[in-house]
Amino acid sequence: MKRTAFLTGASRGIGRAIAIALAKEGYDLYLVCHTQKELLLSLMEALEREYQISCTGFVGDISDYQFVEQCFLNIKRLDVLINNAGVSYVGLFQDMTPEEWKQILDTNLSSAFYTSKLAVTNMIQQKSGKIINISSVWGNAGASTEAAYSASKGGLNSFTKALAKELAPSNIQVNAIALGMMDTDMNNCFSMEEKASIIEDIPAGRMGNPKEAAELVINLIKSPAYLTGQIITLDGGWL
Rounded to whole angstroms, how far apart are CA atoms 134 and 81?
11
Catalytic residue from among 27, 30, 89, 149: 149
Rounded to whole angstroms, how far apart are CA atoms 223 and 170?
16
User: Is 27 an annotated catalytic residue?
Assistant: no
Of 114, 138, 24, 134, the C-alpha closest to 63 is 114
CB 88 within 8 A of CB 131: no
In b/e form, how buried is each residue of 105-135, taking b as 16+ CB within 10 angstroms?
bbbbbbbbbbbbebbbebbeeeeebbbbbbb
Of 45, 25, 41, the C-alpha closest to 33 is 41
Just list the catalytic residues.
149
